Every structure is written in structure tokens, then in C-alpha cells.
Structure 1
Amino acid sequence: MSEVLGLRERKKLRTRHALIAAALRLFTEKGYEETTISEIATAADVSTRTFFSYFASKEDVVFHNSRAGLDRALAVIAGHGPGDRAVDLLERAIDAGFALLAVDEDLRREMTPINHLVMTVPSLRARALLMLFDSQRELAEALHRACPGELDLVEAAAAVGAVVGGGKLAALTSMNAGASAEETLRAGRRATEFVLAGLRAGLPAVR
């Protein structure tokens, strides 16, 4: 029985990957607005009904992995120890997100087309900005809960915004200059290290 369930799960995963690959290819070839859900389903060799079993909309395909790095980062913060400094905890949380991209070839391959879509399609850009705000708010609240004696909520928000915002802007700048996915990751990591060094020097000791 467990083997049958395993086969089913693998089939579902293959279908999901096929839908994502077909959608990104069609978005690149035809344009996001011009591509229909029916066309995506046909290109993935499934029915439109099957598409809706995996995704609620075209937007959901674009942002299918949006919480992967965030959930890892939140798990790192939630597992903090009593002696952890906020800046060190934030660094480990950010590292967890970069580590996911480093080992997941599919995510790296999708980076360029997804970021191009986000930068050129107004509705996707709006959703991306909202998701960025929400993710930084979640991280800031988690960091404050983990280190309440070191950072108040405003300071936690400022620290998270500086690190996450700096890393994302550096990565997008690198990508827009024609860098590869690996070079883009290195640029984002270098930017976060730069900001973290400043925070480490500037954050006060525990109140």
C-alpha cells in the first residue's frame, strides 16, 4: 500500500512540475496575459480540470514556491537557543533560504523567467510586493518573539527589512545585468553579508 501511495505522490509531483514548466515556457513565448489556462493544461498533457487541482490561477503558478525559503527561515528562528543574538539568528535564517536555492536546481532554473514576469507584468509585481511585505512582517515578528530583550518590534522590522531588502535588490540588479542564476545568488548573499556586518557592529547589547 505504501508503495502505491509513493507512486501516486510521484505522479502528482511530475504533473505539478509539468504544469509549471509548460506555464513558464508559454509565458515566455506568448506573454503572461496572452496565455490561457487551457493552453497550459494542453501543453502539460492534462485537462483544465486537472490544472485547477494543482493551482487556483496563473498567478499561483508563478508564485508556487513563494513560501519555501520563508518557512525554512521561520523554522530556524523558532528553534533558537537561549544565548542566540538576534543578528546571528537572522543570519542563520537567511542562510536557510539561500541553502534551499543552492540545492534545488528547479528553483534556480525558474528564477530568471519568474523574476522577468514579476518585473514586467503589473498584476504580478503588485502581488510580489504584497508578499514581500507579508514575509518580512512574519520574519520581524518571529525575530522579536525570539529576542524580545534585544530588539523591539520596530527594530526587528528594520533589521529584517535591511537584510531581506538589500539581498533582493542586489539579486535583481545582478539578474537585470545579465548574470546567471548562480551569479545572482552570490550577489544576493554578498549583499546580505554586507548588511549583517553593519547590523552586527551597530546593534546594542541585550537591554
Structure 2
Amino acid sequence: MGEVPGLRERKKLRTRRALIAGAVRLFLEKGYEQTTVSEIAAAAEVSTRTFFSYFASKEEVLLYNARESLDRVLRTVAERRSGEGPADLLTRAVGTVFEVIAGDAELGREITSVNHLIMTVPSLRAHALLLLFDTQRELAEALHRACPDELDLVEAAAAVGAVMGATKLAGYISLGRGDPSEEVVESCRRAAELTLAGLRVITTPKA
């Protein structure tokens, strides 16, 4: 079991969550461009200086979960189990993200709202696209390091790109038709599972 966070750490987590929740609410109510950092700080009852001790910009507030999710996936990939094939490893790693979301309904709704904003704000779409590229490259390199005998770097990149592309597109399609957050998350999970099942054809060990 993980260590229980101390009082100081719990306070930091609450402040961070309040900043994120306040930002998302203001972005949806006022519009992304119209909302200022000082307004986000005020909504969380902290100073602007405190805001910048947690986030470097408004964009970072919205994309906060991407880094956390990637770090969780990278840790899982780095801890490959004995006899575990690349597709099974990637399945388990991606599954850790959905497990966290499934256990936190508020987080699922938050992520759905963030993705809705990304779809509707051009500057956020551009930022998210660059982040997605960097994320895929980092994960592909990690997968190749974990499975050097089964996948070369190009094959690892193809596997990661297929999974993340399918997941993102399924989520956006689900959002676009107005599905509730739980169904959006489920659409992403199903897309990942379907893609990973197909990727097993590239995981035969090389001669």
C-alpha cells in the first residue's frame, strides 16, 4: 500500500484541486480567453503567486492530468513482468490510467470538461497536439527500452501511436455526440482494448 500523505501534502493537493476546479468552471462560464489567472486564484481563495507555484500557465492547469497519467504509465512499463509480452505490457500500463479514473468520478467529469474545452479553443488544440506528440514519443522510447528484443523503436512508436490515437479519437467522438463523462471514459477504454488486441500481431519475438 502507498504511504498516506501528510498534512502538508494533503493541503497542497486540496489547493491544487481547487485551482483546477475553479479554472475549469470559469473557462466554461466565461470562456478560456476571457478568464485571467488572478480570477482562477481568487476562485480557489489563494494569491496569484500561489497559482504560479503550482502551474506555469492557464494551459498547464487544463493539461495537468496528462503528465500524471504518463508518469503512471511509464512506471508500469519500466516494471515489465517476467514473460510479459509488449502488447500485454502496454495493455496493463494503459489500464492503470482507466483504473484511476474509474475510482474517481469527479476526476472523470473534470477530464471530460477539459477535453470539451480543448476541442473548442483553437490555441488549446494546438498546445494539446504538441503535448500528445511528445507524450507518444516518450512512451514509445520507454516501451522499446522495456522490450528491446521484441520491438524496434519504429514498431514501438507504431504501437503507441495506434493506441493513443484510437483512444483520443474515440473520446472526442463520444464527447461530440454529448455522452456523459462515464460513457466518454468507457469509449476511450474500449478503443484502447480493441487496438491493443490487434497489436499482438507485431509482438512475436524476432529470430
If the length of structure 2 is used for normalisation, what is the TM-score? Answer: 0.91
Does the 8 A contact of 1:98 with 1:189 survive in 2? Answer: yes
Deviations 1:72-99 (A, max 9, x none): 1111110113422111111111111111
The higher-RCO structure (CA 8 Å, 6+ apart) is 2
**Distance in 2 between residues matched to 1:67 and 1:106, nearest whole Å:** 18
Task: Kindly indicate whether the alpha-carbon contact (under 8 Å) linking 1:112 and 1:181 is maintained by their aligned counterparts in 2.
Answer: yes
Q: Work out whether 1:7 is the aligned partner of 2:13.
A: no
User: For residues 85-124 of structure 1, what are the structure 2 equivalents within 5 Å?
Assistant: 85-124=85-124
Which moved further from structure 2: 26-35 or 64-73? 64-73
Partner residue, 2:189: 189
**Residue-by-residue CA offset, 1:141-193 (whole Å, 9 max, x unaligned):** 11111111111110110011111111111111111111111111111111112
Q: Pairwise CA RMSD of aligned residues?
A: 1.6
Aligned equivalent of 2:66: 66
Look up the match of 1:203.
Answer: 202
Aligned-partner residue type, residue 110 of structure 1: E
* Separation (CA, whole Å) in 2 of partners of 1:128 and 1:39: 23
Name the structure 2 match of 1:46. Answer: 46
Aligned-pair distance for 1:13? 2.2
Question: For residue 67 of structure 1, what is the amino acid of its counterpart?
Answer: R
> Structure 1 regions of 5+ residues with no counterpart?
none
- Shift in alpha-carbon separation, 1:10–1:146, aligned structure 2, 3 A: closer
Alignment of 1:72-87 (within 5 A): 72-87=72-87
Deviation at 1:104, TM superposition (A): 2.5
Contact 2:78 2:146 in 1 (8 A): yes
* Residues 69, 100 of structure 1: 8 Å contact kept: no
Q: Which amino acid aligns with 2:171?
A: A
Corresponding residue pairs, total: 202
Please list the CA deviations of residues 108-130 of structure 1 after superposition, one character each: whole Å capped at 9, or x if unmatched. Answer: 12122211111111221111111
Q: Please list every run of 5 or more consecutive structure 2 residues that lacks an aligned counterpart in the other structure.
A: none
Greater Rg by CA: 1
| Cα drift, residue 204 of structure 1 | 5.0
In structure 2, the partner of 1:125 is 125
The percentage of counterpart residues that share the same residue type is 63
Counterpart position of 2:137: 137
